[in-house]
Amino acid sequence: MKLFDGGRAPNPRRVRIFLAEKGIEVPIEPVDMGEMGHRSNAMTSRNPLQRLPVLELNDGTILTETVAICRYFEMLHPQPPLMGTGALGSALVEMWQRRMEFHLFLPVAQVFRHLHPAMKEWEVPQVAEWGEANRPKVMEFLKFLDGHLADKPFIAGEDYTIADITGLVSIDFMKPAKLTLPEGLDNVARWYHTVAGRPSAKA
Amino acid sequence: MKLFDGGRAPNPRRVRIFLAEKGIEVPIEPVDMGEMGHRSNAMTSRNPLQRLPVLELNDGTILTETVAICRYFEMLHPQPPLMGTGALGSALVEMWQRRMEFHLFLPVAQVFRHLHPAMKEWEVPQVAEWGEANRPKVMEFLKFLDGHLADKPFIAGEDYTIADITGLVSIDFMKPAKLTLPEGLDNVARWYHTVAGRPSAKA
């Protein structure tokens, strides 16, 4: 098994944090995304959609999509559970994972991809107006999240889950997107401090 | 249990098709999205993100996010499996579900929301250039999908899954988005004919 990893990019990091929380070691094959390594012939033959991370199993089976790769490891190594347990528990974690993804991770990504000069070759065409339109979406969701976190330690409730990983990576992704966490979101700040302080955050 | 349903909108339909394939009947509470019923006080108190569908359990627990609602029913009623079985099977279905979602469903939605005059109050601001930029993304992915479907009946392989539901609903969503399935994608056309012909497609 081999994990083709994209360094500082947010999706590869989500998988690395997930593996670190599980205590799973997987051989890593670094791919230099700055040099467009994810678009090389060798990587395109593995993932024609040219995204990272890519997990290659020993029999050559390819798994792509961050959350699908996490699901694979969750089912092989259920402890500690990071995707919930039982029907309702699993569904609630998936609900929060998706809320973080669609309302925070994706809007931050749009700001970054459509406004950052370094993304010119990545996002064609860059549409500055669309990048700008995503700034208030990020801020509105963060306000909602602050209310949600008022009475619970983690995003899906009592336990650290994949929803916290998506959240942490999204907040860190705000930096290159030149977005600042607004003052006064004390619950988000407290939660971020907790999850960013776990050893897995360095993965 | 009660499912707050949004009629013709694509996400509510994904859940209805999923339930029809499972043979599960859930009491439906229609919400008129044309009249902005999903933004009413009653619905906002259930889902502050003002999206449908919303599943309300008997104890008042709220589940939102289409795929999370599907996961709940999949775990309660595993037969027939629509989200894969085993670690690798589940991960591969999730991979294809997400590929369909991020590379087909979302780009079609962007074309619709940013270019259709009826969406003016829904997507603020509408960014026509961004809507246009998504047309080629849809077409490129459909070409990739056509190659993928050359040697298999369904999107994730031998069995009908949630990835086919996301695919079917995305293709049908192309109509209000004024996107046309290009000629010559015979495998996509054959697959679409099969999945659109199942009784569940009328759900």
pLDDT digits (tens, 9 = 90+) for A87-105: 999 999 999 999 999 999 9
Give the Cα separation of A44 and A52 in Å (integer). Answer: 10
CB count, 10 Å around CB of A7?
14
User: Is residue B98 located within the same domain as residue B119?
Assistant: yes
Residue B54 bridge partners (DSSP): B4, B64
In chain A, which residues touch B (CB < 8 A)?
48-49, 57, 61, 63-65, 67-69, 71-72, 75-76, 86-88, 90-92, 94-95, 98-99, 103, 125, 127, 129-130, 133, 144
Which among A61, A95, A125 has CB closest to B63? A95
Confidence of residue A186 (pLDDT cuts 50, 70, 90): very high
Whether B81 is covered by a domain: the verdict is: no
Domain count, chain B: 2
Give the Cα separation of A110 and B136 in Å (integer). Answer: 18
pLDDT in tens, A35-87: 889 999 999 999 999 999 999 999 999 999 999 999 999 999 999 999 999 99
Last residue of a domain, one of B17, B44, B76: B76
User: Is residue B61 located within the same domain as residue B110?
Assistant: no
User: Is residue B26 located within the same domain as residue B122?
Assistant: no
Residues in Cβ contact with B134 at an 8 Å cutoff, skipping those fewer than 6 apart = B107, B108, B110, B111, B114
Is the pLDDT at B194 greater than 90, yes or no?
yes
Residue B35, domain extent? 2-76
Whether B126 is covered by a domain: the verdict is: yes
Q: Which residues in chain A have Cβ-Cβ distances shorter than 8 Å to B56?
A: none
Q: For A187, list phi and psi in degrees, rounded to 5.
A: -70, -40
User: Is residue A68 located within the same domain as residue A92?
Assistant: no
User: Is residue A112 located within the same domain as residue A92?
Assistant: yes
Whether B134 is covered by a domain: the verdict is: yes
Which residue on chain A is closest to B125 by alpha carbon? A133
Distances (CA, A) of B145 to A3, A40, B179, B188: 24, 20, 16, 7
User: Is residue B108 located within the same domain as residue B150?
Assistant: yes
Confidence of residue B8 (pLDDT cuts 50, 70, 90): confident
Give the Cα separation of A197 and A7 in Å (integer). Answer: 20
Does B88 sit within 8 Å of A71, measured CB to CB? no
* Mutation for B interface: A71, A76, A132, most B CBs within 10 A: A71
Which residue on chain A is closest to B99 by alpha carbon? A65
Is the pLDDT at A7 greater than 90, yes or no?
no
Between residues A176 and B34, the one the model is more confident about: A176
Which residue on chain B is closest to A140 by alpha carbon? B49
Query: If you average pLDDT over every residue of chain A, what do you get?
Result: 97
CATH code: domain of residue B197: 1.20.1050.10
Last residue of a domain, one of B39, B54, B76: B76
Last residue of a domain, one of A14, A44, A76: A76
pLDDT in tens, A141-180: 999 999 999 999 999 999 999 999 999 999 999 999 999 9
Whether B158 is covered by a domain: the verdict is: yes
**Predicted interface score ipTM higher than 0.95:** yes
Does A64 sit within 8 Å of B103, measured CB to CB? no
Does A76 sit within 8 Å of B87, measured CB to CB? yes
Q: Which residues in chain B have Cβ-Cβ distances shorter than 8 Å to A134?
A: none
Give the Cα separation of A59 and A1 in Å (integer). Answer: 9
User: Is residue A23 located within the same domain as residue A64?
Assistant: yes
Between residues A174 and B8, the one the model is more confident about: A174
CATH code: domain of residue B52: 3.40.30.10
Query: If you average pLDDT over every residue of chain B, what do you get?
Result: 97
- So what's the pLDDT on residue A108? 98
Name the minimum distance, in Å, from the CA of A52 to any CA of chain B. Answer: 13
Does A90 sit within 8 Å of B75, measured CB to CB? yes
pLDDT in tens, B59-99: 999 999 999 999 999 999 999 999 999 999 999 999 999 99
- So what's the pLDDT on residue B201? 98
Residue B3 bridge partners (DSSP): B28, B55
Characterize the bridge pairing of strands A28-30 and A62-64: unpaired
Query: What number is the average pLDDT over the span A119-123?
Result: 92
- So what's the pLDDT on residue A192? 98
